[in-house]
Amino acid sequence: MIVPLEHLLILSTTLFFLGLVCVLVRRNLIMILIGVEVMLNAVGLTLVGASSFWQQLDGQIMVIFLMAMTSAEVSISLAMVVYLNRRKQSIDIRSFDEMRG
Amino acid sequence: MSATLMFYILGAIAVIATLLAITRRNPVHAVIYLVNSFFALALLFYLLGAPLVAAWEVIIYAGAIMVLFLFIIMMLELAPGGETDRYGPNWVKWVPILLLAGALGACTLLLTSLDPTTADGVPRWYASPRDFGYALFKEYALAVEIVSFQLLFAAVGAFYVGKPESKRKGRGGEA
Amino acid sequence: MLALVLILPLVGGLFNACFGSRLPRPLQALIASGAVFASFLAALACWPQATGAGLHVNLFTWLQSGGFTAEVGLLFDPLAAIMTLMVTGVAGLIHIYAASYMADEHDQARFFALLNLFVFAMLTIILADNLLLMFLGWEGVGFCSYALIGFWYRKAENARAGRKAFIVTRIGDLFFTVGLLWLFSLFGTIGIEAINGRAAELDPTTLTIISLLLLGGACGKSAQLPLMSWLPDAMAGPTPVSALIHAATMVTAGVYLLCRMFPLVSLSTMALDVIAVVGMLTALYAATCALAQTEIKRVLAYSTMSQVGYMFLAVGLGSVSAAMFHLLTHAFFKALLFMGAGCIIQLAGHENNIFLMGGLRKRSRSVFWLFLIGLLCLAGAPLTDGFFSKDLILATAFAHGDPFHLSLYGLGVLTAGLTSLYSFRLAYLVFGGDYRGEELPHAVSKVMIWTLVPLGISGLAGGFLNLPHFIGGHAWLSHWLGRDNEVPNLSLQTEYYLLALAFGTFLLGWLIAHLRYHRFVEREPGPVSGFFLSGWRCDAFFDRLLIRPFRQLCRFCWQGVDLALIDGLVESFSRACFVWGHVLRYLADGKISRYLQSFAWGLLLIVSWFLLRAIA
């Protein structure tokens, strides 16, 4: 391990919260998805760091699955963006409130 | 230049690139910064003994996914544009991305001088692609199958959702 | 061959049920009556084999489970043979009669299908060699009678009468079921012969209780006290149904059951006494009720009840042959009476009320004479079959000699007098005087009258089946049933005294009826006759005793338990859900960013929880 685990965790946490802030603050659907990507990558960093710390392969394999899941998620969510944009001519998150109870 | 120092530099690059990415108004710019951030992360992975993951980070994230984002942004014409075309390139806007890219390039060059199997003369652990492959397709074979199904479903779902409304009512086989 | 007896009516019934409605009407009737007559002939062909222990045919094993086996087996012993011939013969005549009587009705196919199925079920009771199969027939008879009584189901009261018959007999069936299951648990078998053969092993108390349970079942089917109230109401059904079910066959099923299980029942003196008392009381009760009835069929219904009471009395006196003798003769003359009543009702223009009849003798001589034969048999006129069979029962009672049986004898004679009285009352009201009705007369078809003739002949000649020794007979029926010892052993002089007494009561009844009804006088029904008319107000009594409390219980269960408690609980729960849903819907405002914020807060909560745990 080239650095203490705490430092690595601090880095990944920072990235994660940057992504979270992006998700919460931005209103553009694309930007929200970008925030999600950032968060996922932060998690990936944590996993790789843990793998390195314990010198076990499993963490990295989790990252592979994480990437596969991300690809799936991105493909579906971008298709949704296309669909929603077609419906409302907008990708502002405020215009999608039909699910109001 | 030790690997430890490199870690902090790359970490800083990743955080700065991400910070810039999430604050951009123009989604295309955001994606560009994000690609930067992902490159930095890929190098971090390499440093942490995961060369294969690093490669995939570049290929899948920075390559495929971000290109997909760009593609959608362009397809939907979401980027506010036109200014640069009329008044020529705005060089000030290019400064941060150029700085970050330069730092990344420098780090990459420096990394090539490092032996990935040792850190400061001490042998260190890293996951060779062979071990990785064995673990993935032996212990995690079932999970691989499940994930592959998930990808198939995602493809079908994306195909269905993305079809224009008028065609959706037709038979499933129609594109 | 024996199986044919059973299967033919079933096939006829099923055929009519499935395809009957597409066939022309005469063909439906032809199939139905043909099936029953063929069954009669088959039974006749089996007759020679019925001696001694009888013919035993095992058709197939119905079900088998552990130590329990239910065979579909038939037993054709002398008792069953007599019953089979009687049922198929009388039913055949009734089918022909019905073909004419029901010619103008809708749903003839349904009628004949049910009629055939009824005969099938009745034959199942008769021929079954085990109690379970018998019970199957027992229920089948109950169902068919329900469907036939309520045949004109479009009128609510008919449907109600059908339901009443079904429910009341079902109470009896419950006793039968319990007795059946008890017998099975005791012996591990349900074969009738096996149970009868081993009945002596039981201890007396159990035996008595089982016998009484069987009596309960028999009471339900045979309309004996206290389960008698369905029979008069059952007259809502078509007349051929009344003739078939409520005269000739179904009501005698109870008697048959007791005769079948007689080796078991007879081991308990107390059970026998109870049977005798029940029979006697029913006979008396029904005779008094018959005195006051205004509808011709209800008179006959009560007389049926009364005569079946005599049969019970005979069983209770330990004389199966007397019971069977009376059962046979009664079947003949009561079928005759009911079918005659059908003719009379048609003659009078579909009028049931005897006070609106009168003078019908002039309308149709043949009906008058045939009906009169029936009435004479019922009243026990000398030399008719009813006279001999009733006399045999009374003589048996007298022969016992002790005070208990002598008092039964006394009541029996009294009832005989009453029987004679109401029979002649009926005769005078229907045939005597002038026509009082308003309806124009209808013609009666020849077929209907001709079917009465064989019954009239057997009514007159049926007595020779079991002519007592002292008038030169050979008591053939007792001998056939292997019960020679049951012929009462009285001195010749006593026999003649008894005969004279019976004749005297008959004459007395006639005399009173003659004095009272010879000339028709419109009378206001007094309190006594009103009491008798309503069947001693038994319906009202049961209503107050059972039905009203039951209704109140149901009402409580409905309104108290179901509406208030269960519905209240469920509804308040749903209302709570509804209110909460209204409150919670403000959370789901459709704003995606707010959802995402909630995620973040949740994440914060979870993380802080872990942090707190890490600190603590």
Q: Which of A29-43, C315-329, C470-484 has the lowest mean pLDDT?
A: C470-484
pLDDT-flagged residues of chain B (< 50): 172-175
Contact B161 A80 (CB under 8 A): yes
Average pLDDT, chain A: 88
The CATH number assigned to the domain with range A27-90 reads: 1.10.287.3510
Residues of A in contact with C607 (CB under 8 A): none
Q: What percent of chain C has pLDDT over 90?
A: 3
pLDDT at C311 over 80: yes
Across the A/B interface, how many CB contacts are shorter than 8 Å? 170
Can you list the alpha helix ranges (DSSP code H) found in C469-615?
A: 476-480, 492-517, 527-533, 538-542, 548-555, 568-584, 592-615
Residues of A in contact with C592 (CB under 8 A): 93, 96-97
Residues of A in contact with C585 (CB under 8 A): 101
Q: Is B97 on the interface with A (CB under 8 A)?
A: no
Contact C146, C162 (CB under 8 A): yes
pLDDT digits (tens, 9 = 90+) for C250-273: 888 888 888 888 888 888 888 888
Shortest Cα–Cα distance, C608 to chain A (Å): 15
Shortest Cα–Cα distance, C588 to chain A (Å): 5
Token pair 């980070």 is at which residue? Answer: B57
Across the A/C interface, how many CB contacts are shorter than 8 Å? 32
Closest Cβ–Cβ partner in A8, A37, A64 for B65: A37
pLDDT given at position A12: 93
Closest Cβ–Cβ partner in B41, B148, B161 for A76: B161
Token pair 């009596």 is at which residue? Answer: C215
Contact C588 A101 (CB under 8 A): yes
CB proximity list for B52: less than 8 A, separation 6 or greater: A60, B127, B129, B132
pLDDT given at position B175: 41
Residue that wins the pLDDT comparison between C1 and B171: C1
Contact C242, C338 (CB under 8 A): yes
Residues of A in contact with B35 (CB under 8 A): none
Token pair 């405002």 is at which residue? Answer: C589
Shortest Cα–Cα distance, B84 to chain A (Å): 22
Shortest Cα–Cα distance, B54 to chain A (Å): 10
Both tokens of residue C557?
Answer: 């269960």
Both tokens of residue C404?
Answer: 């208990």
Shortest Cα–Cα distance, A101 to chain B (Å): 24
Residues of C in contact with A96 (CB under 8 A): 590, 592
Strands (E), B31-115: none
Q: Which chains touch A (3 or more CB pairs under 8 A)?
A: B, C
Distance of alpha carbon C2 from alpha carbon C445, whole angstroms: 35
Partners of B118 in the β-ladder = B123
pLDDT given at position A47: 93
Strands (E), C23-114: 55-65, 68-76
Q: Is B1 on the interface with A (CB under 8 A)?
A: no
The SS3 assignment for C433 reads coil
Contact A81 B72 (CB under 8 A): yes
Closest CA to C10 of C87, C117, C112: C117
Q: Is A31 on the interface with B (CB under 8 A)?
A: yes
Contact C349, C263 (CB under 8 A): no
Contact C389, C463 (CB under 8 A): yes
pLDDT at C23 over 80: no
Distance of alpha carbon C609 from alpha carbon C581, whole angstroms: 29
pLDDT digits (tens, 9 = 90+) for C117-163: 888 888 888 888 888 888 888 888 888 888 888 887 777 778 888 88
Q: DSSP assignment of B14-34, as one string? A: HHHHHHHHHH-SSHHHHHHHH
Those of residues 27-46 in A touching chain C at CB distance below 8 A are 27, 32
Contact B151, A71 (CB under 8 A): yes
The domain spans of chain A are 27-90
Closest CA to C319 of C266, C380, C250: C266
Contact C258, C315 (CB under 8 A): yes
The neighbour count for residue B84, using CB atoms within 10 Å, is: 10
Shortest Cα–Cα distance, C568 to chain A (Å): 28
CA B2 vs CA B8, B42, B122, B167: distances in Å: 10, 17, 12, 59
Contact C590 A96 (CB under 8 A): yes
Contact C306, C290 (CB under 8 A): yes
Mutate which of B4, B10, B32, B48 to test chain A, going by most A C-beta atoms within 10 A?
B48
Contact B60 A67 (CB under 8 A): yes
Please calculate the CA angle C339-C233-C154 and round it to the nearest 5 degrees. 90
pLDDT given at position B121: 57
Q: Is A6 on the interface with C (CB under 8 A)?
A: no
Contact C585 A101 (CB under 8 A): yes
Residue that wins the pLDDT comparison between A81 and C446: A81
A in contact with B (at least 3 C-beta pairs within 8 A)? yes
Long-range contacts of B54-61 (CB under 8 A, 24+ apart): B56/A64, B56/A67, B57/A41, B57/A44, B57/A67, B60/A67, B60/A70, B60/A71, B61/A37, B61/A41, B61/A67, B61/A70
Measure CA of the first residue to CA of the last residue in chain C; give whole Å.
94
Shortest Cα–Cα distance, A101 to chain C (Å): 5
Q: Is A74 on the interface with B (CB under 8 A)?
A: yes
Within its chain, how far is the Cα of C460 from the centroid? 25
Residue of A nearest to B12 (CA): A11
Contact C287, C422 (CB under 8 A): yes
Contact C593 A99 (CB under 8 A): no
Average pLDDT, chain C: 81
Q: Which of B155-159, C96-100, C201-205, C473-477 has the lowest mean pLDDT?
A: C473-477
pLDDT given at position B173: 46
pLDDT digits (tens, 9 = 90+) for C360-418: 777 777 888 888 888 888 887 777 777 888 888 888 888 887 888 888 888 888 888 88
Q: Is A86 on the interface with C (CB under 8 A)?
A: no
DSSP letter at B118? E
CB proximity list for B113: less than 8 A, separation 6 or greater: B1
Q: What percent of chain C has pLDDT over 70?
A: 92
Shortest Cα–Cα distance, A94 to chain B (Å): 16
Cβ burial, residue C152 (10 Å; 0-12/13-18/19+):
middle
Contact C588 A20 (CB under 8 A): no
Dihedral sign (CA C421, C427, C430, C431): negative
Those of residues 58-77 in B touching chain A at CB distance below 8 A are 60-61, 64-65, 68-69, 72-73, 75-76
Contact B22, A31 (CB under 8 A): yes
pLDDT given at position C221: 83
Amino acid at A4: P
Q: How confident is the model at residue C437 (pLDDT cuts 50, 70, 90)?
A: low
The neighbour count for residue C369, using CB atoms within 10 Å, is: 14
Distance of alpha carbon A93 from alpha carbon C38, whole angstroms: 88
Closest Cβ–Cβ partner in B4, B73, B75 for A3: B4
Shortest Cα–Cα distance, A54 to chain C (Å): 21
ipTM: 0.89
Closest CA to A48 of B69, C346, B67, B55: B55
Distance of alpha carbon A91 from alpha carbon A94, whole angstroms: 9
Residue of A nearest to B153 (CA): A72
Partners of B122 in the β-ladder = B119
The SS3 assignment for C380 reads coil
Contact B125 A55 (CB under 8 A): yes
Q: Is C582 on the interface with A (CB under 8 A)?
A: no
Buried/exposed C96-113: b ≥16 CB within 10 Å, e otherwise = bbbbbbbeeeeebbbbbb
Q: Which helix (H) or strand (E) is C119 found in, with range?
A: helix C108-127
The domain spans of chain C are 130-536, 537-585, 591-616
Q: DSSP assignment of C562-586, as one string? A: IIIIIIHHHHHHHHHHHHHHHHHTT
